[in-house]
Homo-oligomer: A and B are copies of this chain.
Amino acid sequence: MINKIKETRLLHGGDYNPDQWLDYPEILKDDVRLMKLSKTNTFTLGIFAWSALEPKEGEFQFEWLDEVFSNIQEIGGKVILATPSGARPAWLSNKYPEVLRTTENRMKMHHGGRHNHCFSAPIYREKVGIINRKLAERYGNHPALLMWHISNEYGGDCHCELCQENFRSWLQTKYANLENVNKAWWGPFWSHTYSDWSQIESPSSIGENAVHGLNLDWKRFVTAQTIDFYQQEIVPLREMTPDIPITTNFMADTHDLIPFQSLNYSEFAKHVDIVSWDCYPAWHNDWEETQDLAVKVGFINDLYRSLKKQPFLIMECTPSGVNWHDVNKAKRPGMHLLSSMQFIAHGSDSVLYFQWRKSRGSSEKFHGAVVDHDNSEHNRVFKDVANVGDALEKIAEVKNSMKHAKVAILYDWENNWALNDAQGFSNQTKQYPQTLQKHYKSFWKKDISVDIVTPEQDLSQYSLVIAPMLYMMPEEMMKKLREYVEAGGTLVSSYISGLVNETDLTYLSGWPKDLQAIFGIDVKETDTLYPKDRNAIVFKDKVYEVRDYCSIFENKQAQALANYEMDFYKGQPAVVKNQLGKGTAYYIGARTEQAFLDDFYDELIKQLSVGENMGILHEEGVSIQIRESEDDKYYFVMNFTERVQKIKAVNEYIDLLSERVLAGEAFMKPYEVFVLKMKK
């Protein structure tokens, strides 16, 4: 079931916690006034409000929430209503300690924090069910209700006995019998054969932690169990509000901005109506250039957009700094508009903030917010927000427009789990998602749209599929890639691919035959280098530095594009090209510097015509992303540098933000952004 949001505006607003301010009526009044001034229209209510909604077991207080609903409705605003399961009241932990998690080293947690309930405890499911139903009953038909926001930032795992039992049941369903488990997990190694289901326990630093099949299945179970909990949460909502879309807010792992690792969102995304997520890049940091960070932000937005291939929502971001980075630096002038437009450019239909108002106490009181402790509309951040509100109104027509990509990069959550858990290679340098981001960068620099797809997705629509470092590659994936190439596709893969199947068992009899057919080579060794080691390859008379990994392979029928310059495999091929059926496959055997990827893909881009001639010339650091409606194209031209940039427009465009025509030479200030509209 897919429900769309019933709202024509781009959403602007964010998490609003009036429950913290019930003793401060003048603050609640100011909120309404400031909402209007800030050009915000959407507010997420009720996250963490359980204590306010049910201060004692079975005693509910909704009056305060009724009033907030009314206030928002009166100013034409909309509500995203959260279920409160992300943090429970103290009375609940106290009376029902089974809701508390058990850590991996089998310590029973005490009450405190948030996001830490057992996903199995029946009583927790029951209590959440009751309050969710109450919320749906009371607000399900409220005209301001736009969407459900289930819990908050699901994550983590629990190792209590209830969860152990659920894990065993899940395994029984998957494997039918213990013999299959022992085979899949390579049981006889270290005598780890199970002879009774009760012997299976979740991985633990004080128990079993080296059985990769177990580790992998535990992670899969945690995703399944979290989704199971989520599905139980939404039962009353689906029943009573069948037309209200449902989401839950996804995350990224910071500070490197790689996909969240604790849950497989490609599974979870199937169960939400709209993907939404919380994005907190560390702008203006001191370890990378702004454009490098912009690439990472682009990558992960494209991944989460591609999960459902629909516009998604930024559910949380900050109008200023956060308070939980190592260093919490405020956004410089211009950055808030630029970074907000970047979200829209990559497919978001919202800019929502954590948080509307800084709380007065506790751990997030210094997290950036629309309204600061000064309760004033006159400070820099508030004005930046109002400015973004203004911009979102000007570009409202981009809502629901799509991105169309001819290039796909494959990201597989489970592959990263398995690879990171693998004992081998070097833990310092595996870096699977970071490697994908480097491939992605070659396209970002050239303004080419990219989908970041997951293993189940269809590849046939893409001219180019990039799938490096697929350490764990089930046989179906090989078949899928082979069919894709045979049918005319172009595929790029790399070192550390095709080593194990879906339970982390290695392939026997050498590199899989399907892969040999695709790439025309037989991979013999993966040389793992020390951090200071270097090799090099030569590609079209240019030398590129190589580090970390070098595949050594036998070239069976491929065309060598680049050879190694050093070490005992000097002169042997490092990069090859192979024809198969109507298609072509490339294997990049070594971890090269960025320049190689840029030059390598530059040719492919030309050959495959995956770029689009937008008629706008620019230097490095300016990025253009496209959204496309039925009739129009929208070019988001973004200056991710601290320099004035000269660009050259071959055609005439209307900049929706400045409402001026752009043609010929133009200058972009640092962090400036244009949203250019073109009829198709």
Contacts and interface: CB of A to CB of B under 8 A. Distances in A.
A103 interface: yes
Nearest to A206: B109
Interface centre among A113, A363, A428 (most CB of B within 10 A): A363
A649 interface: no
B505 A361 contact: yes
Given A198-B94, A326-B427, A366-B422, A506 B358 contact: yes
A373 B524 CA distance: 10
A191 B50 contact: yes
Interface string A511-526: 1000000000000110
B358 A189 contact: no
Given A326-B428, A508-B373, A361 B186 contact: yes
Contact of A326 (B103, B113, B324, B426): B426
A23 B425 CA distance: 28
A528 interface: yes
Interface in A146-204: 183, 185-196, 198-199, 201, 204
A360 B508 contact: yes
B112 A191 contact: no
Contacts of A321: 528
A201 B110 CA distance: 9
Interface stretch (A81-89, A395-403, A439-447, A620-628): A81-89
Contact of A366 (B191, B194, B423): B423
A207 B110 CA distance: 4
A374 interface: yes
A359 interface: yes
A210 B94 contact: no
A188 B531 contact: no
Contact of A187 (B51, B323, B330, B364): B51
A113 B190 contact: yes
A240 interface: no
B113 A207 contact: yes
Contacts of A508: 27, 360, 373-375
A12 interface: no
A110 B204 CA distance: 8
B113 A374 contact: no
Contacts of A503: 361
A206 B17 CA distance: 26
A211 interface: yes
Interface residues of A, number: 115
A142 B195 CA distance: 31
Given A110-B206, A210-B363, A327 B530 contact: yes
A103 B9 CA distance: 53
A204 B112 contact: yes
A647 to B, nearest CB: 23
A195 B55 contact: yes
B423 A113 contact: no
A437 to B, nearest CB: 21
A101 to B, nearest CB: 9
Contact of A208 (B113, B201, B359): B113
A188 B530 contact: no
A330 B528 contact: yes
Contacts of A207: 109-113
A90 B199 contact: yes
B286 A530 contact: yes
A527 interface: yes
A212 interface: yes
Contacts of A193: 51-52, 55, 89-90
Contact of A506 (B90, B360, B379): B360
A309 interface: no
Interface in A264-285: 284-285
A492 interface: no
B109 A364 contact: no
Nearest to A531: B286
Contacts of A94: 196, 198-199
B190 A87 contact: yes
A432 interface: no
Contacts of A507: 373
A27 B55 CA distance: 66
A29 interface: no
A667 interface: no
A20 interface: yes
A359 B421 CA distance: 16
A424 interface: yes
Nearest to A325: B426
Given A186-B20, A373-B508, A329 B199 contact: no
Nearest to A282: B530
Interface string A279-303: 0000011110000000000000000
A358 B500 CA distance: 13
B113 A191 contact: no
Contacts of A360: 186, 505-506, 508
Given A89-B191, A374-B510, A208 B110 contact: yes
A213 B505 CA distance: 49
A426 B328 contact: yes
Contacts of A206: 103, 107-110
A461 interface: no
A210 B362 contact: yes
A88 B195 CA distance: 12
A210 B509 CA distance: 54
A361 B185 contact: yes
A213 B362 contact: yes
Contact of A111 (B55, B199, B362, B426): B199
18 contacts: A49-B188, A51-B192, A93-B199, A110-B206, A186-B362, A189-B361, A192-B362, A210-B362, A326-B427, A327-B426, A327-B528, A330-B525, A360-B505, A361-B503, A365-B424, A365-B506, A374-B508, A379-B525
Given A326-B427, A373-B507, 15 more contacts: A22-B188, A49-B188, A84-B191, A90-B192, A91-B195, A110-B208, A111-B199, A112-B201, A186-B360, A186-B362, A328-B425, A361-B503, A361-B504, A365-B423, A373-B508
| Closest A-B pairs by Cβ, 7 of them | A186-B361, A112-B208, A110-B207, A366-B424, A286-B530, A374-B510, A210-B363
